[in-house]
């Protein structure tokens, strides 16, 4: 009796379990919460920063036009000088000897020229009486011309010797401030070796290097600058010169900008130049770089199609939900962790984080507060507009 009841009880237990499983419903997957932002368009200009230094527009390297041993140095770095001031002096003993030798050579050549002239006059008088031949008279005339030419050459040699003696004193070719001194007393310097640099502080300019990919927008940009010593004092700049050829090592173009209004700037000071490029005809929006993904190798973003769904909970009876859809965009530029884009309509809700976990049609839950992006200019744009 007991043995026959066991199969019946086992079958009844299995039937009860299957019935219980059939009555329960599978739980629906909860929507994934995402962070979104509303897309807003405006005419945002592109701003780039460049770091450079203040230089003098006119800076001249001074050098001796002759070589020798330095016996005097009369200037120091930072000293103001006027045009014609003595900067340094070389030992001129050898140059004085050369001048004296040239003077004696001139005396000898002058005497020979006078002697040749006297001989020519005498021979011309004798020839008129038939005492000398025509050939001898012509030789006397040639000798006179050679002697005079030699005397003239010695006069020029003496002039050159006097100039070289004068070049042993180095004088300032312009007024300004001494920025570099590259020699000391007792040092032997070569002819033409730069020893002192003089800068004119009256016309300062800021020198920066511009990358190749920004050269076109740089030429039409508006410029402002601040100095590291005075970060709150911003002033406008005007592009004065842009190198036509990139540097071989850095592949950058050197640009020189002067203050729009004349003002004094400390030479050598560090400066930050902000270049605000004019906005294009196409309005753009500024979105976080984390919102960018790809569709078929092209940039795209995930847009949320919002809806309201009712859920049971302790705190609320409904929450904002939606499904995501991948839409293409056009990228116009980059700003550190932000991207300038166009394409989606204004007001579109886009996912700004976790885009690698999205898939078409995925249900997501939206937070109640959604920030707007693209409606305010970035910090760089604000600074450049000051």
- List the structure tokens of 7: 């199969």
Looking at residue 373, what is its pLDDT?
58
216-227 pLDDT, tens digit per residue, is: 889 888 999 999
Whether residues 193 and 207 fall in one domain: no
In a domain, 329, yes or no: yes
* Mean predicted confidence (pLDDT) in 118-137: 76
In a domain, 334, yes or no: yes
Whether residues 158 and 74 fall in one domain: no
Asked whether the predicted pLDDT for residue 73 surpasses 50, the reply is: yes
Longest dimension (CA), the chain: 185
In a domain, 5, yes or no: no
* Mean predicted confidence (pLDDT) in 166-174: 95
Looking at residue 38, what is its pLDDT?
86
In a domain, 13, yes or no: no
* Mean predicted confidence (pLDDT) in 23-45: 70
* Mean predicted confidence (pLDDT) in 187-213: 94
Closest alpha carbon to 351 in 333, 363, 335, 342: 363
**Exposure of 278 in the CB half-sphere (CA atoms within 13 A):** 6
Residue 84, sorted as left (phi over 0), alpha (psi -120 to 50) or beta, turns out to be left
Looking at residue 224, what is its pLDDT?
93
Q: Work out the pLDDT band at 55, boundaries 50, 70, 90.
A: very high
Please, which residues have CB within 8 angstroms of residue 381's CB and are 6 or more apart in sequence? 44, 45, 47, 276
Residue range of the domain that includes 107: 93-166
CATH number at residue 362: 2.40.420.20
Looking at residue 379, what is its pLDDT?
40
Whether residues 292 and 374 fall in one domain: yes
CA 92 – CA 100 distance, rounded (Å): 12
- List the structure tokens of 188: 């032997």
Q: Work out the pLDDT band at 33, boundaries 50, 70, 90.
A: confident
CA 207 – CA 242 distance, rounded (Å): 10
* Mean predicted confidence (pLDDT) in 359-364: 87
In a domain, 174, yes or no: yes
Give how many domains the chain has, as a whole number: 4
Q: Work out the pLDDT band at 214, boundaries 50, 70, 90.
A: confident
CATH number at residue 115: 1.10.287
Domain boundary among 120, 143, 166: 166
In a domain, 11, yes or no: no
In a domain, 26, yes or no: no
Mean pLDDT taken over the chain: 83
In a domain, 21, yes or no: no
């Amino acid at each position: 009796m007991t043995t026959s009841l066991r199969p019946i009880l086992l079958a009844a237990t299995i039937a009860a379990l299957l019935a219980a499983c059939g009555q329960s419903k599978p739980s629906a997957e909860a929507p994934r919460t995402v962070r979104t932002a509303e897309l807003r368009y405006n005419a945002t200009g592109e701003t780039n920063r460049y770091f450079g230094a203040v230089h003098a527009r006119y800076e001249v390297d001074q050098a001796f036009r002759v070589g020798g041993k330095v016996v005097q140095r009369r200037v120091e770095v930072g000293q103001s000088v006027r045009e014609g001031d003595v900067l340094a002096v070389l030992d001129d003993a050898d140059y004085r000897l050369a001048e004296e030798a040239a003077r004696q050579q001139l005396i000898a050549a002058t005497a020979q020229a006078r002697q040749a002239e006297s001989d020519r006059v005498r021979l011309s008088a004798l020839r008129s009486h038939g005492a000398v031949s025509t050939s001898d008279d012509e030789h006397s005339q040639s000798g006179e011309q050679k002697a005079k030419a030699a005397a003239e050459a010695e006069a020029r040699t003496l002039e050159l010797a006097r100039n070289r003696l004068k070049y042993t004193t180095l004088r300032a070719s312009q007024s300004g401030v001494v920025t570099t001194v590259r020699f000391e007393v007792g040092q032997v310097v070569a002819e033409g070796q730069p020893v002192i640099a003089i800068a004119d502080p009256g016309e300062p300019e800021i020198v920066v290097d511009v990358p190749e990919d920004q050269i076109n927008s740089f030429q039409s940009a508006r410029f402002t600058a601040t100095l590291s010593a005075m970060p709150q004092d911003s002033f406008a700049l005007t592009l004065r010169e842009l190198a036509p050829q990139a540097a071989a090592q850095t592949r950058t173009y050197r640009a020189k900008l002067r203050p729009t209004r004349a003002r004094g700037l400390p030479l050598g000071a560090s400066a930050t130049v902000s270049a605000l490029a004019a906005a294009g005809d196409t309005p753009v929006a500024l979105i976080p770089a984390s919102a960018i993904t790809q569709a078929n190798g092209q940039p795209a973003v995930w847009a949320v199609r919002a809806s309201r769904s009712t859920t049971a909970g302790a705190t609320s009876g409904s929450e904002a939900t939606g499904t995501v859809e991948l839409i293409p965009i056009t990228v116009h530029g980059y700003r550190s962790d932000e991207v300038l884009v166009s394409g989606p309509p204004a007001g579109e809700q886009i996912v700004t984080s976790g885009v690698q976990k999205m898939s078409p049609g995925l249900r997501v839950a939206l937070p109640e507060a959604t920030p707007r992006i693209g409606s305010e200019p970035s910090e760089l744009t604000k600074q450049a507009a000051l």
